[in-house]
Structure 1
């Protein structure tokens, strides 16, 4: 993030994210996606994808990166592809989304007490960002966590990449991460105390909602809904 940016809320953050061009490989790839043979005949977002959800969310969903023909096309996290279809179906079933299907930014979807974000905000080739790209993008996630900290109580991390990318920024945002760092696994739950004595944050590991995992049955709707119900328990009732 440039030193001249002033970010005081999530709207400022989202506005700054979508103008980022710090990773040349990702800039080129996200913009080229609309010209690929499988591209849909519509105008692509083709910019970094900001977080999605209310500023007072109690639960956060952390993924990997935008899909070239999913959120890189629609401009909204997990919107417009099969991974998102599977995810929103589960969120709606447990009361964290207003509807079960997300197709565009104009479809009326509303997240309830939940916000989505990714460690890498641009679509990477083969869904594989480099470690340098992950680290370059890290300040966006760190700032988002800091802004959500007053209400955030649980984070559902989809996949090992998101887990590994998230842990280094949590201490800077105000939570104590144990050493050695906890290892990702589906169903893993780790509660991190707040460094200032405030409310703790619970991390919940979940297999990613990729077609590979959902088509093979490695991740089922029942499994995903169970993770979100656990997150709701840790998040507690809004006071």
Structure 2
């Protein structure tokens, strides 16, 4: 696949993308059960001219798979969008709907896997297959400087999409990585309901990651810790 040039929209999976048979079958089952849902590969959301990208895992069944916008309609989005708003990366009021008028400024959200997986667990092959969309997607962002990876799968997929090699770059909450291209990647635990409810991820921990990411993206903190 040829990588797009900056400012050129990257390749995206089609509405009926057949590349992952298990995910396609699950998607068809959801279309039959919930015909009013989005039920398709979920596109990126945000500012393609921004310096910061957030990579998540995959659409949630009752979240992005239902609404068509990343982290919208389920528990995880509340903390994410509140944090983005706190650091000036979101404008408008987040109401958990794709039509709530929320907009991102200086940031964009993408998922490592674009289709909802059963039990929120994509297989390694599905993650690898969907990287054909994540890689050119990130490379097409002309001003991108920093990527925040939400969870270990997002970390691994983003590292590979940006030209790094595992296991040289190990996942840890708050870890910072400079990739061969010069891109910076910061890890965070995923803002899932489970991680929040168990205290593995607190709002303060999450906010610290984004405070640092904004510093690096703006160039006000050029040195990595």
TM over 0.5: yes
Aligned to 1:20: 17
Pick from 164, 170, 182 the counterpart of residue 162 of structure 2.
Answer: 170
Higher RCO (CA 8 Å, separation ≥ 6 residues)? 2
Gaps of 5+ in 1: 172-176, 195-199
Change (3 A) 1:30 1:51: same
Quote how far apart the aligned CAs of 1:114 are: 0.4
Pick from 145, 153, 161 the counterpart of residue 153 of structure 1.
Answer: 145
Mapped contact 2:26–2:117 kept (Cα < 8 A): yes
Per the normalisation by structure 1, the TM-score is 0.83
The count of residues paired between Structure 1 and Structure 2 equals 219
SS at match of 1:204: strand
Aligned to 1:174: none
- 1:125-181 deviation per Cα after TM superposition (whole angstroms, max 9, x unaligned): 011111111111111001101101x3111111000111112211211xxxxx36742
Quote how far apart the aligned CAs of 1:87 are: 0.9
Provide the rounded CA distance (Å) in 2 between the counterparts of 1:12 and 1:158. 22
Alignment partner of 1:212 is 2:220? no
Aligned to 2:223: none
**What do you get for the CA RMSD once the two structures are aligned?**
2.3
- 1:177-231 deviation per Cα after TM superposition (whole angstroms, max 9, x unaligned): 367421101010112242xxxxx31110100011000111211111111111100
Change (3 A) 1:182 1:226: same
Provide the rounded CA distance (Å) in 2 between the counterparts of 1:54 and 1:103. 19
Aligned to 2:178: 191
Alignment partner of 1:131 is 2:121? no
SS at match of 1:13: coil
Per the normalisation by structure 2, the TM-score is 0.88
Change (3 A) 1:125 1:212: same
SS at match of 1:120: coil
Gaps of 5+ in 2: 221-225
Provide the rounded CA distance (Å) in 1 between the counterparts of 2:96 and 2:203. 19
Mapped contact 1:67–1:127 kept (Cα < 8 A): yes
Mapped contact 1:89–1:100 kept (Cα < 8 A): no
Mapped contact 1:206–1:227 kept (Cα < 8 A): yes
Alignment partner of 1:51 is 2:51? no
Mapped contact 1:88–1:100 kept (Cα < 8 A): no
